[in-house]
Structure 1
Amino acid sequence: MKTLGYYNGKYGELDEMSIPMNDRVCWFGDGVYDAGPARNGKIFAIDEHIDRFFNSAGLLDIVMPVTKPELKQLLQEMVDKMDDTELFVYYQVTRGTGIRNHAYTEGAGNLWIMIIPQVIGDCKEPIKLITQPDTRFLHCNIKTLNLIPSCVASEKAKKAGCQETVFYRPGNRVTECAHSNVSILKDGKFITAPTDNLILPGIARAHLIQACKKLEIPVSETPYTLEELFDADEIIVSSSSKLCLRACEIDGKPVGGKDAERMEKLRAAVIEEFESATAAQ
């Protein structure tokens, strides 16, 4: 199959799928999601993604309709049905189905899955960024479906000819991007925002930290500011679909390019890990 969707036990091509109007996602965006790449029939970092998915659901008191092993098996079965070998595997759970009411719907949630072709790429091409105040709520550690501020920010970046938006809070503290984590290299050190309630604990971010430890690059999980971002030796944007991107411009100003060797070692390390973990047998 070219695309594949799933909703509470029903399968089909994405444009053939439908959902009840009373699914709470329609009224409130009431749900959480997770996603990651697959290659050669292997879903990358699947256990880490599923753990984060269940954690997000638990933080919102959403009752999961499947266990972790059941979800893992279901995702693998769906990947095995696909024609393409490089895929994006997306899954979400909404709180349930019922007449619109702000109070929670009781019972297990609704499970959605979407699988489409997508290539990870080598992440060698640098990207351009813009900055914008972070107007999102204070539960950014939960991977919810409420993504309007991120959508607006992504559209602004697109119109500016850029690929991502960096968010910052009062005091100019950098948090993350519209749909990525952002970290910096400065004086040989990898600096990334702490995993508090202001950022999503990114899986790619965690793998970058692991790569730093293997490469003996010091890691500091501490807040940093916009001023420090602009002054960084290198700026790294990471997500499950773009594992390690280098930024070359922010708000029209050139940035980074001062620690190319260390930057390349990091990029090569995470790409090599991904390719090795998803190599054809």
Structure 2
Amino acid sequence: MKTLGYYNGKYGELEEMTVPMNDRVCWFGDGVYDAGPARNYKIFAIDEHVDRFFNSAGLLDIQVPVTKEELKEILQEMVNKMDTGNLFVYYQVTRGTGIRNHVFTEGPGNLWITLRPAEISDGEKPIKLITTEDTRFLHCNIKTLNLIPSCMASEKARKAGCQEAVFYRPGGRVTECAHSNVHIIRDGKLVTAPADNLILPGIARAHLIRMCERLGIPVSETPYTLEDLFSAQEVIVTSSSNLCLHADEIDGRPVGGKNRELLEKLRTALLEEFYEATKEE
């Protein structure tokens, strides 16, 4: 199959799938999600993604209708049905189905899964960024379906000819991007925003930190500002879809390009980790 969808046990091509109008996602965006790449029919970092998925659901008191192991089995079974093994694997759970009511719907949630062909970027080509004020709520550590501010920021970036938007809070503290984490290299050290309630603790972010530790590169999980961003040796953007990108322009101003050796060491090491974990048997 070229694409594949799943809804509470029902399968089909994405354009053929339908969901109940009373699914709470339609009324409130009431749910959480997770996603990641697959290559050669192997889902990368599946345990980490599923753990985060269940953690997000738990923080909102949403009952996932399957166990972690059952979810992983369903995902792998669906991946095996696809025409290509290089995919974007997305899954979400919504609180349930019922007449619109702000009070929670009781019982297990609804499980959605979508698969489509996708490739991981090698990160060689630099990207362009814009900055925009972070007007989101204070639960950014939960991977919820309420993504309007991120959608607005992503569209703003597109109109500016850029690939991502960097959020900042009052006082200039950089948090993350619309759908990525952002980090800087400063004085040969990786500086990344702390995993508090203002950012989503990205799986790719965790892999970047671990790779730095493996390579002997110091890491500081501390807040940094727009001023730090513009003066950084390098600006790195990570996500599950793009493991290690770098920026050469923000708001039309040139950035980075001052520690290419360290950047390249990280980029190649992260790609090699991904290729090794998803190599063809």
The 2-side partners of 1:40 and 1:242 are apart by 17
After TM superposition, give the deviation of residue 214 of structure 1 in Å.
1.1
After TM superposition, give the deviation of residue 85 of structure 1 in Å.
2.0
How many residue pairs end up in the alignment?
A: 281
SS in 2 for 1:190: strand
The 2-side partners of 1:252 and 1:99 are apart by 48
Structure-2 residue corresponding to 1:249: 249
The 2-side partners of 1:42 and 1:213 are apart by 26
Structure-1 residue corresponding to 2:104: 104
Structure-1 residue corresponding to 2:178: 178
Structure-1 residue corresponding to 2:88: 88
Q: Normalization by structure 2: what TM-score?
A: 1.00
The 2-side partners of 1:252 and 1:6 are apart by 42
Question: What percent of counterpart residues are identical?
Answer: 77
Query: Is 1:153 aligned with 2:153?
Result: yes
What amino acid is the match of 1:50? Answer: V
Which stretches of structure 1, 4 residues or more, deviate above 6 A after TM superposition? none
The 2-side partners of 1:99 and 1:246 are apart by 46
Alpha-carbon deviations, 1:22-58, whole Å to 9, x = none?
Answer: 0000000000000000011100000000000000000
Alpha-carbon deviations, 1:114-167, whole Å to 9, x = none?
Answer: 000000021111000000000000000000000000000000000000000000
Query: Is 1:54 aligned with 2:37?
Result: no
Query: Is 1:42 aligned with 2:42?
Result: yes
What amino acid is the match of 2:272? Answer: E
Alpha-carbon deviations, 1:214-265, whole Å to 9, x = none?
Answer: 1100000000000000000000000000000010000000000000000000
Structure-1 residue corresponding to 2:202: 202
SS in 1 for 2:20: coil
* Equivalent residues of 2:23, 2:94 under 8 A apart: yes
* Equivalent residues of 2:2, 2:83 under 8 A apart: yes
SS in 2 for 1:54: helix
After TM superposition, give the deviation of residue 106 of structure 1 in Å.
0.1
The 2-side partners of 1:131 and 1:192 are apart by 17
Structure-1 residue corresponding to 2:229: 229
The 1-side partners of 2:79 and 2:121 are apart by 19
Structure-2 residue corresponding to 1:130: 130
SS in 1 for 2:98: coil
What amino acid is the match of 1:180? Answer: S
Structure-2 residue corresponding to 1:75: 75
Deviates more, 1:92-101 or 1:120-129: 120-129
After TM superposition, give the deviation of residue 267 of structure 1 in Å.
0.4
- Which aligned pairs between 1:256-275 and structure 2 lie closer than 5 A? 256-275=256-275
**Structure 2 gaps, min length 5:** none
* Equivalent residues of 2:121, 2:243 under 8 A apart: no
The 1-side partners of 2:45 and 2:85 are apart by 17
What amino acid is the match of 2:47? Answer: D
The 2-side partners of 1:247 and 1:272 are apart by 21
Q: Normalization by structure 1: what TM-score?
A: 1.00
**Structure 1 gaps, min length 5:** none
Alpha-carbon deviations, 1:64-88, whole Å to 9, x = none?
Answer: 1000000000000000000012100
Structure-2 residue corresponding to 1:64: 64
* Equivalent residues of 2:42, 2:85 under 8 A apart: no
